[in-house]
Amino acid sequence: MMAKGSARTSLLEPAPFFHDVAEGPADARAFWVQAADGTRLRMALWPGGAKATILLFPGRTEYCEKYGRLADDLAAAGYGMAAFDWRGQGLADRPAHRADMGHVTSFDDYRADVAAFRAALEGLGAPKPWFLIGHSMGGAIGLRALHDGLPVQAAAFSAPMWGIAMHPALRAISGPLLTLAVPMGMGKAFAATTGPYKVMEFDDNPLTTDRAQFDYMARQLARYRELRLGGPSNMWLRAALRETAALLDRPAPDVPALALMASREKIVVNAAIERRMAAWPGGGLRTIEGAEHELLLEAPERRQQVLAAILSHFGAYPPEPVVVT
Total count of domains within the chain: 1
What pLDDT, in 10s, does the model give residues 279-319?
999 999 999 999 999 999 999 999 999 999 999 999 999 87
Position 97 in a domain: yes
CA dihedral 113, 178, 98, 203 (to 10 degrees): -90
Cβ neighbors of 61 (< 8 A, separation 6 or more) are 89, 102, 229
* Residue 158, phi then psi, degrees to nearest 5: -105, 110
What pLDDT, in 10s, does the model give residues 173-222?
567 777 777 778 889 999 988 999 999 999 999 999 999 999 999 999 99
Position 173 in a domain: yes
Could you tell me the residue range of the domain that residue 309 belongs to? 19-315
* CA nearest to 87, candidates 131, 47, 49, 41: 41
What pLDDT, in 10s, does the model give residues 234-280?
999 999 999 999 999 999 999 999 999 999 999 999 999 999 999 99
Position 14 in a domain: no
Position 132 in a domain: yes
Q: What is the domain-level CATH number for residue 252?
A: 3.40.50.1820
What pLDDT, in 10s, does the model give residues 35-77?
999 999 999 999 987 789 999 999 999 999 999 999 999 999 9
User: How many other C-beta atoms lie within 10 A of the C-beta of residue 165?
Assistant: 15
Position 196 in a domain: yes
Position 227 in a domain: yes
Give the start-end residues of each E strand in the chain.
Answer: 29-34, 40-46, 52-57, 79-85, 130-135, 152-158, 257-262, 284-288
pLDDT given at position 171: 67
* Residue 253, phi then psi, degrees to nearest 5: -70, 160
Position 94 in a domain: yes
Cβ neighbors of 160 (< 8 A, separation 6 or more) are 134, 135, 136, 138, 139, 140, 142, 143, 259, 268, 273, 276
Position 3 in a domain: no
